[in-house]
Structure 1
């Protein structure tokens, strides 16, 4: 058996494998002999049917089985021998399909890139530090009070931050479109739940009034057939409600699962939660900046097949978020795969680079670090020991935590090898990142 590997384009490869006729014939004869033992044909006793009769009747199917067996056996051996890492299942085509001359087939597939990561550069990543001001705490408390407040009906024109109940019907060039109507739709003006320009035009409208608004779908709107187009909406404003914020009291503490006794302790607890959130956000933003730098200094291609798989996964996630069943959803117009390609490629490249960096640093999961991480996670639960026991009996969850610990180890290594600069951001600006 011989083989040759050819580079087609970028990460696409073509492997041609030749199999000697003697090997083919040996496998073919073996299958015919095994078949002969059980074949029953009129005029012959079981096991006594001549080979030429069996070949005449079953030769085609036996030939197909032998070809399949030879390919299934030879392909992984040749891949292993040549130390190739295929990224997908190969497309097989026959080059020579003549038992008298031998068998030759061609396998076309993509390979994973061989990445030798660079971990030094004159460029820098940003280490984020989040600054919490008193006004940030005030704003956070006000948000909580409004979130846990009540909506009360009012008899006045609508204003920003009101919750309105509307019926609407939209058209584009006089024609309806998918999702163009709703009845008794509740919307908080200023929540940015709708396309830009929609909510602003609901301000200062009378209850029970009918009116029209015009606005454009964004150019990058996920439904390509609507992107950039002007829509006209007929609106009936049925009700206006304003928010009556909650009081800072025992009932609110219980709703927030806070063990505090007074307003000062409540404020301190809010600040503590914001500080904890800031630590998490600082790490995430710093890590993202670090990975962005690594992608800039490590240029490589990702397999198109893997990018497509990731795009399909992201599309399913998007469908699930809007309540659609990804397994039943067949309408590609809602979320075309191209919508996700750029982010999918980035995610695939980060995964490939992550693996290459783990190998570069020869990192393995530190069991003490894993144990410490799980213990810290357990502190968030009422019964920490019960949670720890559960984790150690959940292989998937344990693997997830192993990857987090590995990533923490990797980030620590990279922090030593890469240059950085500090970046201070205010808590109120977190939504921009």
Structure 2
């Protein structure tokens, strides 16, 4: 009997994964994401190294990058409306084409003001793009395939960010920063072409789709999404946990930039290697989710808690070392666990949301998560004015661990 259930479980895994890999629409989305992620890696390496040279400080560069994105958060509620009102496929295609044009505008601009402005424009487009893309994915896959879907998306992203930053580091050093923006533009255009191949007949038109083009209808729809969000406790709890991770993670990232650029004095090639190590672990997280699939489905909450506690301890170890090799090892484990945790939270969240409200709820989550990031940036900035980067690592490690410990005791 035990062997029977084991064989049945293996059959379900193989069937779900096989059907997902045979889904041409999903595969086009998956391939498009991988290509655009490579372009994003080139753009990130080029823009950050340019800003470090212009501002003369790793701290100034990363704070400027993050602050340049904040005003665009006002678009999040409308981005959710667009994702639910119009066919997500065409929203994604238009945003990809426009992003490709913005990427070309980076060429020849070396002043910090112009760079921050272009990053702000890209951030605005990303905020419109992301809810639509997540809605598009939900519309072309089955609910039982969500864990594999999120795992594959994370794995492809990992491959892209494993290859992209290293190539970008060499390209920027040998060919100049402009080559990175040409690559970024091409990646967006190719992504748009692949999304166009997604067949509309696979995209379900849910009854909750908004049908009014009036501005009053837009506001009413946004309010409806907010009301639904607050009516489902499980969704609220998942978003709050995600926000705490985003807030503490943003604070860690703010401290990490001056830590590696100003304290460790790393080169562009070393920076590309570090980004590759951190983001490339997404691929390992994909396999981890595949291997633990059956256990995860039974006790997903437990795996999420264990993952978050592990992340808090990794951040603690950042606070007590300046050894580059050890830091690379920590990045490897941090990237793997963060990606694994993201897969679990994303899967549980998508399973909990009514598809009629998918884009709107995701956009609300973006607003709350980014508000948490602002708090994390502000906290890190205050601390770095008087203390070393290690204090930021230590404090956020304690905050994240304390939050999870409190949640465990509460429930």
Shorter-chain TM band = under 0.3
Higher-RCO chain (CA-CA 8 Å, sequence separation at least 6):
2
Pair member with larger Rg: 1
Q: Which structure has the highest helix share of the two?
A: 2
Q: Which structure has the highest strand share of the two?
A: 1
